[in-house]
Amino acid sequence: MSKELYDIIIIGGGTAGLTAGIYASRSRRKTLVVDRKRPGGQAATTERMENYPGFPGGISGRKLMDLFRDQAVNMGCTIEKGEVLEVREGNNVFEVVTKKGEAYNTRMLILAPGCVPRKLGIPGEETFSGRGVSFCATCDAELYEEAKVVVIGSGDTAVEEAVYLSRYAEEVVMIVVHDEGVLDCNRTIAGEALDNPKLSWRWNRSIVSIDGDDLVRGVTVKNLATGTMEQVECEGVFMFVGTLPQTSFLEGFIGLHGGFIEVNERMETGRVNVYAAGDATRTVLRQVVTAASDGAKAAFYADKALSEKEELEKALKHAGGEYYLYFYTPPVQESLDLFPVIEKRAGNAGVPLVKLDTCRFREAARRYGVSSVPKLLHIRGNEPVREINL
């Protein structure tokens, strides 16, 4: 069991996690990324990414994620393989425990566990997984050279992957629950897909089962307009019906909404010193560029909180076991005008005075329940004895 203490541990090595690793390491923080697989996440399964800034000709997701990983490592970030089973909070540290029994300690935690493809639970889905049912066109498209395949879904991923599959398959049949012409993806990829001669469409349909013997031979779909069942012959089925956040290990540790992590604009969770980023958070857009932004913000605010914590610990250590704690902020002129009064009170009481700007020491203000300034507290043994009227 490792007793090594990290400044920041990042759970998840996808786009958000690797970006957080880059930013945290660049801030000279001792940083660890723990990921259960090869770093890269869902983005690494994308054959070609044409909407990531800086690559007008497109770039493979695997190559882009390898660049992210290499940059993080070159900045000094450590990356370890491990499936996290539990996070515990101890005395001013968090302990991250993996399936193999490794344990890592950290002062700050960034959660970026990502998502995996959602399954429908229909007959044949599990039975034919790996034998005709796939959740990754990039991984398996070449297996269906000149074959007929079915794609379930109508979002960005489904339509983009269908277009990619058309490079290999003879025909790609799209099963869409919406009315004709209605897709959930962006208009650019929708136009490309609708104009693709290799794509055919079954509108107002839902999939009932995946059928076959040793391998997939077809699917049964329901016509939502008539209620009739239809058989569609195919050799492969690709499922793109949403994603599931990989957050089960966090239940009871932080607030979740439908499995997704609640964060504010600073990427803070409801637990102090715990941040989150990427697809596993509640967000309106799940793209590589937004996940990278999340990771950068999470690392920035985690570093800022660490700096605050270090500065406060230094000030309180110098103050000793009993002191006056004065909260102020420059935008409130009254809190500045009271400086001479506060200095005199502390001097008369014979105790040190620690002054904290609430704009910089947000966590300290939250800890002591300071919602407005000026506020003067008498502290003994790190706990408030009383609030002093001003």
Q: Annotated catalytic sites, by residue?
A: 136, 139-140
Please list, in sequence order, all residues whose beta carbon lies within 8 angstroms of the beta carbon of residue 191, skipping any fewer than 6 positions away: none
β-pairing, 5-11 with 103-111?
Answer: parallel
Q: How many CB atoms lie within 10 A of CB 157?
A: 23
387 DSSP β-pair partners = 377
The reply to whether CATH 3.40.30.10 applies to domain 320-388 is: yes
Decide: 191 and 199 in contact? Cβ < 8 Å.
no
Of 145, 156, 195, which Cα lies nearest the Cα of 51?
156
What amino acid is encoded at 341 in this protein? V
Q: What share of the chain is helix, strand, coil (3-state, %, to 5)?
A: 30, 30, 40
How many whole angstroms separate alpha carbon 48 and alpha carbon 5? Answer: 39
Q: What is the pLDDT of residue 28?
A: 97
| Sign of the C-alpha dihedral computed for residues 275, 278, 280 and 283 taken in this order | positive
Return the CATH class of domain 5-116+243-310.
alpha beta
How many whole angstroms separate alpha carbon 198 and alpha carbon 269? Answer: 46
In total, the chain counts a number of residues equal to: 390
Decide: 26 and 15 in contact? Cβ < 8 Å.
no
Q: What is the pLDDT of residue 1?
A: 45
How many whole angstroms separate alpha carbon 221 and alpha carbon 214? Answer: 20
Q: How many CB atoms lie within 10 A of CB 14?
A: 31
Q: How many CB atoms lie within 10 A of CB 197?
A: 7
pTM equals 0.79
2 DSSP β-pair partners = none
128 class by beta-carbon count within 10 Å (0-12 exposed, 13-18 middle, 19+ buried): buried
Largest Cα–Cα separation, the chain: 89
The residue behind tokens 């039975």 is 127
Domain layout of the chain by residue ranges = 5-116+243-310, 133-239, 320-388
One digit per residue, the tens of pLDDT, for the chain of length 390 reads 457 899 999 999 999 999 999 999 999 999 999 999 999 998 887 777 878 899 998 888 899 999 999 999 999 999 999 999 999 998 889 999 999 999 999 999 999 999 988 899 999 999 998 889 998 887 788 889 999 999 999 999 899 999 999 999 999 999 999 999 999 999 999 999 999 999 999 999 999 999 999 999 999 999 999 999 999 999 999 999 988 999 999 999 998 999 999 999 999 999 999 999 999 999 878 889 999 999 999 999 999 999 999 999 888 888 988 999 999 999 999 999 999 999 999 999 999 999 999 998 988 898 899 999 999 999 998 889 999 998
What is the phi/psi pair of residue 228, to 5°? -80, 155
The residue behind tokens 């909070």 is 89
Of 108, 60, 27, 70, which Cα lies nearest the Cα of 288?
60
Task: Dig out the tokens for 151 from the structure.
Answer: 């794609």
How many whole angstroms separate alpha carbon 272 and alpha carbon 230? Answer: 54
What amino acid is encoded at 79 in this protein? I
Decide: 31 and 74 in contact? Cβ < 8 Å.
no
**Given this chain, do its domains 5-116+243-310 and 133-239 carry the same CATH topology?**
yes
The residue behind tokens 């923080």 is 29
Q: What is the pLDDT of residue 225?
A: 94
Fold of 133-239: FAD/NAD(P)-binding domain (3.50.50)
Task: Dig out the tokens for 385 from the structure.
Answer: 């004895």
Of 168, 167, 173, 171, which Cα lies nearest the Cα of 152?
173
